[in-house]
Amino acid sequence: MTEPLIELKGISKSFGNNVILDNVDLTIERGDSLGIIGPSGTGKSTILRIIAGLLAPDAGEIYIQGQLRQGLIEDAEDPIFIGMVFQQAALFDSLTVEENVGFLLLQHSTLSRREIKQLAEEKLAMVGLGKIGDRYPAELSGGMRKRVSFARAIMSNPQNPRYTPEVLLYDEPTAGLDPIASTVIEDLVRDLQRAEGGCSTYLMVTHQDSTIRRTTDKVVFLYQGKVQWQGKISDIDATENPLVRQFFSASVDGPIQVIG
């Protein structure tokens, strides 16, 4: 049996007295499209930041392709590259689209600007954006900016295959988009999962019903620091779990305490 790409064992994290994650285990296999869902403030983004190596857990272990991670990503490289797509596209306004997509290569490779431009164009074409490399982020719609951030996330360095992302972490990629723009992004997530030069494995944090159903095969339901339920996407409508039922029925009545 092959090793999981990522394994979290007993991960806990508190902010002050607020316990956000309490002894969470999670396994991500190659090819997984795993949704992390649950009410607001249950630690979904926190889990992504811990997996990305941007935030340290208080307790527990993280194995990346079987190797125990020590410290944060800035302290030691993981054996595989994990990319992140943030909720806000997080583009540099003063750089062109192409410079944004090629940013890491411009900083960390010896490739020529022409080579990086060509690679950026290839990735932009993969996310359905042609001929916009010379534009600035402010000239694009919200959906286009998101797609640019996808192109940046799947950028790889041909000089060093280790910098090809093997797992993508999506943090609410359809938040704030209208239903049609959301569908475009959901289709894109699936296209990139299948495409050569895309990324076959990902975690998806989202609140949107359509995004959960259209982009994930399995889901983990987090609440009060714990994994309360996990199952296949097709199990969602059949489960008797009261948390999952309340969440998907959008009812204020049930075990989930409504905050605010």
Ligand X SMILES: Nc1ncnc2c1ncn2[C@@H]1O[C@H](COP(=O)(O)OP(=O)(O)OP(=O)(O)O)[C@@H](O)[C@H]1O
Closest CB to ligand X among residues 43, 57? 43
CA atoms of 120 and 23, how far apart (whole Å): 40
Side-chain-facing half-sphere of 69: CA atoms under 13 Å? 33
Question: Which residue in this structure is represented by tokens 């993969």?
Answer: 126
Q: How far is the CB of 174 from ligand X (least distance, A)?
A: 13
The yes or no reply on residue 42 touching ligand X (CB under 6 A) is: yes
The yes or no reply on residue 168 touching ligand X (CB under 6 A) is: no
How large is the C-alpha radius of gyration of the chain? 19
Measured CA to CA in angstroms, residue 228 lies from 34, 127, 178, 255 at distances of: 15, 35, 30, 12
- Among 3, 10, 31, 41, the residue binding ligand X under the rule CB under 6 A is 41
- Among 6, 20, 82, 192, the residue binding ligand X under the rule CB under 6 A is 20
The yes or no reply on residue 15 touching ligand X (CB under 6 A) is: yes
Amino acid at 43: G
The yes or no reply on residue 33 touching ligand X (CB under 6 A) is: no
Residue 60's H or E segment, with its range, is strand 59-64
The yes or no reply on residue 208 touching ligand X (CB under 6 A) is: no
- Among 11, 26, 33, 46, the residue binding ligand X under the rule CB under 6 A is 46
Q: How far is the CB of 45 from ligand X (least distance, A)?
A: 3
CA 26, 27, 28, 34 dihedral sign is negative
Closest CB to ligand X among residues 45, 215? 45
The yes or no reply on residue 40 touching ligand X (CB under 6 A) is: yes
Range 112-151, binding ligand X (CB under 6 A): none
Closest CB to ligand X among residues 55, 181? 55
CB neighbour list of residue 71: distance below 8 Å, 6 or more residues apart = 56
Q: How far is the CB of 202 from ligand X (least distance, A)?
A: 16
Q: How far is the CB of 42 from ligand X (least distance, A)?
A: 4
Closest CB to ligand X among residues 25, 139? 25
In this structure, what is the dihedral angle of CA atoms 34, 97, 121, 199, given to the nearest 10 degrees?
-10
Side-chain-facing half-sphere of 127: CA atoms under 13 Å? 29
Stretch that binds ligand X, among 42-50, 140-148, 149-157, 237-245 (CB under 6 A): 42-50
The yes or no reply on residue 257 touching ligand X (CB under 6 A) is: no
Tokens of 68: 């125990």
Q: For binding to ligand X (CB under 6 A), which residues are involved?
A: 15, 20, 40-46
